[in-house]
A and B are shown apart, each in its own frame.
Chain A
Amino acid sequence: MSAGATATGDPTLGPVWKRASWYAVLSALSVLVLFPIYMTIVRALSTPRDYVQRGQPLYPVAVQPDIFGRAWTQGDLGRQMALSAVVTAIIVTAQLTTSILSAYAFSFLQFRGRTAMFYLFMATLMLPLEVTLIPNVDTVQSLGWFNSIQGLTAPFLATAFGTFLIRQGFLGIPRDLRDAAALDGFGHLAFLWRVAIPITRPVVASFGVIAFLSAWNQYLWPRAIVNEAKWNTIQIGLKNVGAANVDEMNIGVAAAIIAALPVLALLIFLQRHLVRGLTAGAVKG
């Protein structure tokens, strides 16, 4: 091990050979993750018949530069993505609000039956969507909410998972900070807004991403309660555009890429919020 090698580099990474091997491992993992995405783009751009005839190579064949435009118009993606965006925004906002408030209650408030209620909450995590699907469809139908925003969002406004995740974050807030906040005259809302949420921002942001992904990618539920084309969300639209273009498969693939762009944008936007270790330096100990 050469001592000189560490002098210039990042000391946390150690000597050159160690860094090099880390880079090799991480590069390999990146390739593993990025390769399917690359191949999706290749398939989208290539004319399907030529691509298959060429033996499905690693590069685009007979490129159709207008494929994304065609997918956009043929699949009516704009309208469907707008609807999905509205539905997703409602679900994410509602889930963040309900999860943060219930997590706060389960973390910081003392009330009778708190533990029992929390476990009851958690028990709902054990029920998969498939179990609740039929009763929920019945309920939504009886409310007359088929083909509506209410119908698309109502069952997803609160989630035990978010409560659990954010509660874990809140429980990590040192008691001294809560005491200091009490002396500073922060009431519950002020403490939540000024201290608890900023400190647990990585957790809250992570949950926001998870909520966004699951809302944006919903297929089964909209499928069950939507029977008018104008209420189709983007995932239903993708299925339809694929089914309508079996001879031009790359239109469906291109549509899938377009539908994934908001998710990509979200991840890039939230990247710095997802960094951990924000509480470093809060308290020494």
Chain B
Amino acid sequence: MLADVVSVSVSRVLFEDVTKSFGEVVAVDSLDLEVIDGEFLVLLGPSGCGKTTVLRMVAGLETVTQGTLRIGNRVVNDVEAKDRDVAMVFQSYALYPHMNVRKNIESPLVARHFSVDGGAPRKLTASERSQRITQAAETLGLASLLDRKPAALSGGQRQRVALARAIVSRPAAFLMDEPLSNLDAKLRAETRLELVELHRKLGTTIIYVTHDQVEAMTMADRIAVISDGRLQQVGAAQEVYDRPSNLFVAHFMGSPPMNTFEATVAGGGREGEVTGAAGRVRIDAGPAISLPPVGSRVVVGVRPEHLRSQGHGQQGRQQEGLRARVSAVEWLGYERHVICDVAGRTITLREPAEGQAPNLGEEIYLDVVANHVLLFDPATSERIP
């Protein structure tokens, strides 16, 4: 059965210097991005960063102000939404409230033309439509709900109907705009897995918009981080997390976010040191790169899990490490976050919830795992190198 549902369309989505402005406001600025055929790409960014606008341009719901947008090999700048061979799942699900589930799933098949078995595009017959509806409903476990109206469905069921409506037209690409944000936490986690499974089965390109980095990291083949209408970085989740290309990505990815503080390079070479107001940090920059010259100003970035507390109650030691005063401890069961004041900056340390937690107001020293330190240029915010 699934073989019938699987899309035969081959499609990549290619943005070439795409800009979208609303009057004076530039929502998407010179976007260059290739979404590879069959890929699960997540557009990740804070509210208002332009990621939904990117998706709506692919859908044909917004025009492209400048640049070229291709789906497959076709330039679609001036192609109407219905002729783009894409399906969209909306945050609100956008089900027609007066139609039952069957009619809702059928809706993309009624007015549009489809090519069947490689023939010229035409309207589907009633029996072809009904067959597709049955397949889509079975794929998403909706067979018993076909006669219900959306109001009589739970949030999770509505979400499935929205997905069924998307897969029924066998599009070249699925566009999903925060489709999980109206589900409760437990259902959201379940649905994440199901979406990944659905993607694996269908093999169709998915462009997925979210502001939730957990969704992005758990589902994406690649993540495209967007801020202020600009693409900040695109890459696999691990790559984006481990090697953020700038301070925005560094701060946006990870919870709690990466700690950053200004410092000066004190010793050059591959293995060097930086010093700041709070102390001295040794760094191992890795084989391929070298540190900026001694005396350069840098921003040091360290993930909370790459800080180690040297143990508390030990006074008057350490030439290395950061002197910190504990201002709060958050206990999460399996780990704790120790929030410290380091020379006026808030630094968070993540450690296993073992042994005694530091006391509030206590002074501790933090070691940094040397080969996990990142440096950023304070002027450009870009990672060095």
Contact = CB atoms under 8 A, between A and B. Distances in A.
Given A183-B82, A183-B87, A284 B94 contact: no
Interface string B94-128: 11111000000001101110000000000000000
A85 interface: no
A283 B87 contact: no
Given A183-B59, A183-B87, A199-B97, A280 B151 contact: yes
Contacts of A194: 96
A284 B155 contact: yes
Contacts of B182: 284-285
A282 B98 CA distance: 8
Contact of B88 (A180, A199, A285): A180
B96 A195 contact: yes
A185 B111 contact: yes
Given A176-B92, A179-B61, A183-B82, A280 B87 contact: no
A183 B81 contact: yes
A185 B108 contact: yes
Interface in A81-133: none
Contacts of B248: none
Contact of B151 (A176, A184, A281): A281
Given A185-B108, A185-B111, A284-B155, A179 B90 contact: yes
B152 interface: yes
Nearest to B82: A185
B350 interface: no
B189 interface: no
Counting chain A CB atoms within 10 Å of each CB, the highest count among B86, B149, B153 belongs to B149
Given A182-B81, A186-B111, A278-B98, A283 B61 contact: no
Interface string A191-208: 000110011010000000
Given A190-B111, A282-B150, A177 B96 contact: yes
Contact of A285 (B92, B112, B150, B152): B92
Contacts of B111: 184-187, 190
Central interface residue in B98, B111, B151, by most chain A CB within 10 Å: B98
Interface in B116-172: 149-153, 155, 158
Interface residues of B, number: 32
A279 interface: yes
A7 B96 CA distance: 35
A282 to B, nearest CB: 4
A158 to B, nearest CB: 27
B110 A184 contact: yes
Contacts of A283: 90, 92-95
B60 interface: yes
Interface in A243-285: 278-285
Nearest to A280: B151
A34 to B, nearest CB: 34
Contacts of A279: 97
Nearest to B89: A180
A78 interface: no
A56 B109 CA distance: 68
A180 B97 contact: no
Given A183-B82, A284-B182, A199 B98 contact: yes
B75 to A, nearest CB: 19
A211 B92 CA distance: 35
A241 to B, nearest CB: 45
Contacts of B112: 184-185
Nearest to A190: B111
Interface of B: 56, 59-61, 80-82, 86-88, 90-98, 107-108, 110-112, 149-153, 155, 158, 182
12 contacts: A176-B91, A176-B93, A180-B88, A183-B61, A185-B81, A194-B96, A278-B97, A281-B153, A282-B151, A283-B95, A284-B182, A285-B92
